[in-house]
Every structure is written in structure tokens, then in C-alpha cells.
């Protein structure tokens, strides 16, 4: 099922590139899925890692995910999918609220995604400087608020010793990027 999810995501994101580069977009979901698999999560969570941006950024709907991968994968993807009709602030606040109150698998998926995004941003800042911020819908202060809020809420309801190591890696990356 994981290989099928990877292939589905590759097809869905074909031709898309990362925000600040010409790097194929699919590299991001692959890294997220690999992070989740490396942490020992279920096939459903790993598949959701591959598919987490499909509904948000392509023509596929959540029903397509459910038909191909079942209700559990669809639930995970749906929990992570932003409603693009809402403002940036509303979408990010919704994600923060989801992270705070979600079940552990959803938290794991979201933090793995946010970590990979932030590591990519950190590389772009190193290579391109502050001009990178022009590629975003929100400036550095809003991005700091968002990422810091994810850190503040990612461990709500779980024992910190049960969190995968990449939660700490994300917290450290937020400190490096935003001070």
C-alpha cells in the first residue's frame, strides 16, 4: 500500500515544484513519509505522509483517497488538509487547534510535515537570504507565530517521552530559524 501511495502522490504532484526552487514537489511528501516510516508508524500513517498535500494542492478529492486507500488514510489526510477558501491566518489557526486536540497519529503527521517544510526554509534562507520571505503568503513574524504555536501545542495530551525524536528536531529548527 505504501508504494501505491507514493506512486499516487507522484502522479498527483507531477509538474509541481517547491515554493522557493525548481525542486520537484514530490520530494517533500516522500521525505515526510520516510520520516514517519523511520519513526515506526503504521502503514496508514506513512501513506498519509505521501498523500498529505494531494487534496489541498491537486485536483483530487478526499473521496479519491478513501476509494484508493481506505477510510483510515482518508481520515488522516482530511485532518491535515487546509481549506484554501479561508485566509492564511484562519487556516494556520485551524492547524494549531488540530495539533493541540488531535489524536497522536494526526499530530505525528502534521509535525513531520512542518519539520520538513521548516528544514527546507532553513536551507533556502542559507542560500537565498531574506528574499525567500517574498515567496510566502505571510511574513517572518507570522511564520514565527505559526511555527512557535505548533511547538507549544504538539505535546498537549501526550507524554513527551512517547513523542518521536523529530518533535525535538522541529522545536530546535524553530529556534534556529526564528530565534
Average pLDDT of the residues in 144-163: 96
- Phi, psi for residue 17 in degrees, rounded to 5: -125, 165
Instruction: Note the pLDDT tens digit of each residue in 23-71.
Output: 899 999 999 999 999 999 999 999 999 999 999 999 999 999 999 999 9
Residues 6+ apart with CB under 8 A from 142: 88, 89, 92
In angstroms, the Cα distances linking 62 to 58, 66, 79 are 11, 6, 11
State the pLDDT confidence band at 139, using cuts at 50, 70 and 90: confident
CA distance 25 to 21: 9
Active-site positions read: 56-57
Q: For the beta carbon of residue 96, count every other beta carbon within 10 angstroms.
A: 20
pLDDT higher than threshold 90 for residue 133: no
Instruction: Note the pLDDT tens digit of each residue in 69-112.
Output: 999 999 999 999 999 899 999 999 999 999 999 999 999 999 99
Q: Which domains does the chain have, with CATH numbers?
A: 2-178 (1.10.3210.10)
Amino acid at each position: 500500500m505504501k508504494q501505491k501511495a507514493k506512486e499516487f502522490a507522484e502522479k498527483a504532484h507531477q509538474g509541481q515544484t517547491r515554493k522557493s526552487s525548481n525542486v520537484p514537489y514530490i520530494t517533500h511528501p516522500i521525505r515526510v513519509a520516510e520520516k514517519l516510516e523511520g519513526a515506526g508508524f503504521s502503514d496508514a500513517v506513512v501513506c498519509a505522509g505521501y498523500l498529505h498535500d494531494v487534496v489541498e494542492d491537486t485536483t483530487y478529492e478526499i473521496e479519491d483517497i478513501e476509494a484508493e486507500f481506505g477510510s483510515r488514510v482518508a481520515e488522516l489526510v482530511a485532518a491535515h488538509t487546509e481549506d484554501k477558501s479561508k485566509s492564511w491566518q484562519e487556516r494556520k489557526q485551524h492547524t494549531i487547534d488540530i495539533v493541540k486536540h488531535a489524536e497522536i497519529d494526526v499530530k505525528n503527521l502534521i509535525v513531520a510535515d512542518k519539520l520538513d517544510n521548516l528544514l527546507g526554509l532553513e536551507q533556502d534562507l542559507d542560500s537565498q537570504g531574506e528574499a525567500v520571505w517574498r515567496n510566502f503568503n505571510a511574513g517572518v513574524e507570522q511564520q514565527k507565530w505559526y511555527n512557535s504555536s505548533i511547538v507549544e501545542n504538539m505535546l498537549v495530551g501526550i507524554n513527551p517521552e512517547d513523542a518521536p525524536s523529530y518533535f525535538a528536531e522541529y522545536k530546535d529548527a524553530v529556534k534556529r530559524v526564528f530565534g
